[in-house]
Amino acid sequence: MNRLRQSLINSLFPALLVLVCITVVHFFAEPFQVRVAYVFFMNLTIAIGLQIFMGNTGIVSFGHISFMGIGSYAVAILTIPLAMKRILIPDAPFGLAYVHLSIFPACVVAIAFTVLIATLFGFVLKRLTGNAAEILTLALLVITHVVFIAWIDLFRGPRALYGIPIVSTLYWAGAAAIVAIVIAKAFRDSEGGLQLRASSENLLAARAMGVPVEKLRFRAWILSSGVVAMGGILHATFLGTVGPNSYYFDQTFLIMAMVILGGMRSVSGAIIGTALVAAGSELARTLENGPVIFGEKLPTMFGLTGFFLGAVIVLSMILRRDGIMGDDEFEDVFHRWMRRRKEENSGKPSAVSTSSAS
């Protein structure tokens, strides 16, 4: 209980950052900037979901965007109006062409279904380590993408599935980001989270000490899949359309760049990495289109955004493998700064002693 209470206290500062950002955007931002802020919170939710697994297990996962896609498609199929659904997917299996739910029950079902799929893969993944586990997550991404394209009766294949109610707002996205932060902090600070991170450093020693590595790894996998599914729901209910290419390698490398740059062992690192990569991606996207700067038209530079993401990952691996934050959280940096200030103040002679000496 003490660990949980402390993790909730530690979640206050990043949650406050989210609230301040929402307030500033609400009162001062243009519609385009509101959209950018929404996408930022959506990606932050997904990045934190990925951090829950990668940061605590030490296993690089290429498959978490599959959970984003499953959550998006699930909420789409359940919320598209029946009249439109009978046109788009009239032959949907399991009678889904005649099933319609309101947004909140649909979100619950979508997250539960995503967790169910994650559970099936988790039974295999929890027993694997290193390259074998990473290849399995990559296989999950490819399999999910193929299913989205090949199962035409349910997903419309490569064509977009549209007609999803556009109900998400900036406040929804901010609330989802705060929930993701609280979940990630609680798991990281829990006894199981500490044991799982220790097992990523020395698996044999952790098992020798009786740490239930497979059980904890499975728990991290399930938690992270549910959080990433929340991000998928935000994506579908904001754009009103979903397509298989939105949940493949481009989005995978975007989220991985965010987590790696900030430091995958730190929730605070995921927040900082998401902010920096989001800002850099927006700048690269602007330069791609050949903007006019000081009266000069710059040439178009297609692929600059992808180059930027690749450069972020490569440079992070070369210059700072542990990311910007390393293992630190915001509260660790704050406590270290306070301790340094206290040491500096204690080392200075007081005004009374100085005057008496003179």
Does position 205 have pLDDT exceeding 80, yes or no?
Answer: yes
Q: Give me the mean pLDDT over the 153-165 stretch.
A: 94
**CA dist 70 to 46, 217, 227, 232, 269, Å?**
13, 21, 12, 7, 26
Spatial neighbors of 308 by CB under 8 A, at least 6 apart, are 280, 281, 284
Does position 358 have pLDDT exceeding 50, yes or no?
Answer: no
Give 77-85 contacts, CB < 8 A, sequence gap 24+. 77/154, 77/161, 78/105, 78/106, 78/109, 78/110, 79/103, 79/106, 79/164, 79/165, 79/237, 80/161, 80/163, 80/164, 81/163, 84/163, 85/163
Q: What is the pLDDT of residue 353?
A: 46
What is the percentage of the chain residues whose pLDDT exceeds 70? 96
DSSP annotation string for 78-97: HHS-HHHHHHHSTT-GGGGG
Q: Are 64 and 195 in contact (CB under 8 A)?
A: no
Q: Are 308 and 281 in contact (CB under 8 A)?
A: yes
Does position 166 have pLDDT exceeding 90, yes or no?
Answer: yes
Q: pLDDT digit string (tens) for 243-294?
A: 999 999 999 999 999 999 999 999 999 999 999 999 999 888 888 887 777 7
Greater confidence, 204 or 234? Answer: 234
The H-or-E segment that residue 118 falls in is: helix 103-125
Q: Are 115 and 225 in contact (CB under 8 A)?
A: yes
Query: pLDDT-based confidence at 145, cuts 50/70/90?
Result: very high
Does position 128 have pLDDT exceeding 50, yes or no?
Answer: yes
DSSP annotation string for 211-267: --HHHHHHHHHHHHHHHHHHHHHHHHHHHSEE-GGGGSHHHHHHHHHHHHHH-TT-H
| Separation between Cα atoms, residue 229 and residue 114, nearest integer Å | 7
Does position 296 have pLDDT exceeding 80, yes or no?
Answer: no
Does position 200 have pLDDT exceeding 80, yes or no?
Answer: yes
Mean pLDDT value across the chain: 91
Q: pLDDT digit string (tens) for 69-101?
A: 999 999 999 999 999 999 999 999 999 999 999
Query: pLDDT-based confidence at 342, cuts 50/70/90?
Result: confident
**CA dist 295 to 166, 258, 292, 299, 304, Å?**
39, 34, 6, 13, 22
Does position 331 have pLDDT exceeding 80, yes or no?
Answer: yes
Q: pLDDT digit string (tens) for 8-33?
A: 888 999 999 999 999 999 999 999 99
Q: What is the pLDDT of residue 356?
A: 44
Q: Give me the mean pLDDT over the 288-311 stretch.
A: 81
- At residue 11, the 3 state secondary structure works out as coil
**Of the candidates 327, 287, 329, which has an alpha carbon nearest to the alpha carbon of residue 6?**
329
What does the DSSP 8-state code read for residue 348?
S
The H-or-E segment that residue 296 falls in is: strand 296-297
Q: What is the pLDDT of residue 1?
A: 62
C-alpha 285, offset from chain centre: 21
Q: What is the pLDDT of residue 58?
A: 92
The phi, psi pair for 61, rounded to 5°, reads -110, 125
What is the percentage of the chain residues whose pLDDT exceeds 90? 71
Q: Report pTM.
A: 0.92
